[in-house]
Amino acid sequence: MDELIIFENVTYRYLESDVEAVSDIQFSVPKSQWLSIVGRNGSGKSTIGKLMNGLVQPSSGTVYVRSLPTNKESNLREIRLRVGMVFQNPEHQFVATNVRDDIAFGLENQGVQREEMLKQIDFYAELIGIKDLLDREPHRLSGGQKQRVAICGVLVLEPDVLVFDESTSMLDPSGRKEVRKIMELLKSRGITIISITHDMEEAWQADRLLVLERGQIIADNKPIDIFNNQDLLQRAGLQIPFVLAVQKKLIEQGIPLSATHESEDDVLEELWTLHSQT
């Protein structure tokens, strides 16, 4: 596999803390994978995100992005173009008075010509579904709209990896669903997705889960294997996603589902099929 990000024996401790935020962790992230990182508050999730694009540097060990070590100052510009970050509060990423200019900000910093810039803004605004918002003021948008604008502002720079650091935590259920759909869309286009999250519905959609506890990786597996491990869920303080909980209840009631389904629509489709056979 083409490993985009590699953590080699990485430890990080914040200056004001006596406790290591992450401790001797090792893992890699291949191209086009959706990796979700979950765990309790203070488990080290957001620190890993910051380590991925050089916002913080390891106390020991090395993080590589496309073979470039993040602890080399001359690599940081390239690394931050390759690894885009979408944060919890989208307003912290707004710098302009309208959406179009806000999305243009990163392109201007990269010296992109105006004609090409406008083409890229239109293309990605259409892709993300915000073309009708381009002339609006970012601060007057809904939470979900703001987050989509923030995503577009990063995506227009065409990174290899998008890190969503608790990006849905401030949104209502509708807004969270919108952002999860965008993650699915970007994954389908070959972009590597890292979602740092407390939202188990988001984690359920990933290809792979890393479970953290006190700065260490305690599990690295497919979502279905993680969520079927009751001891692990209890240890990490995780709840199972709604769609899986529903399926477990249906099976307990004697309804013979043929497989574990990823979406509510798939569950409903099988229920209709079973109903039509009775």
More confident residue, 6 or 245: 6
pLDDT over 60 (residue 1): no
Averaged pLDDT, 1-28: 91
Per-residue pLDDT tens digits for 93-105: 788 889 999 999 9
Give the pLDDT score at 278: 65
List the 208-213 sheet strands across, edge first.
Answer: 83-86, 161-165, 192-196, 34-39, 208-213, 216-221
To the nearest whole number, what is the mean pLDDT of the chain? 90
CATH code matching the domain that covers 3-240, chosen among 3.40.50.2300, 3.40.50.300, 3.40.980.10, 3.65.10.10: 3.40.50.300
Sequence-distant (≥ 6) Cβ neighbours of residue 222 within 8 angstroms: 207, 208, 209
Per-residue pLDDT tens digits for 177-225: 888 888 999 999 999 999 999 999 899 999 999 999 999 999 999 999 9
Considering just the CA atoms, what is the radius of gyration of the chain in Å?
20
Contact in structure between 80 and 53 (CB atoms under 8 Å) = yes
Give the amino acid at 219: A
Domain map (residue ranges) of the chain: 3-240, 241-278
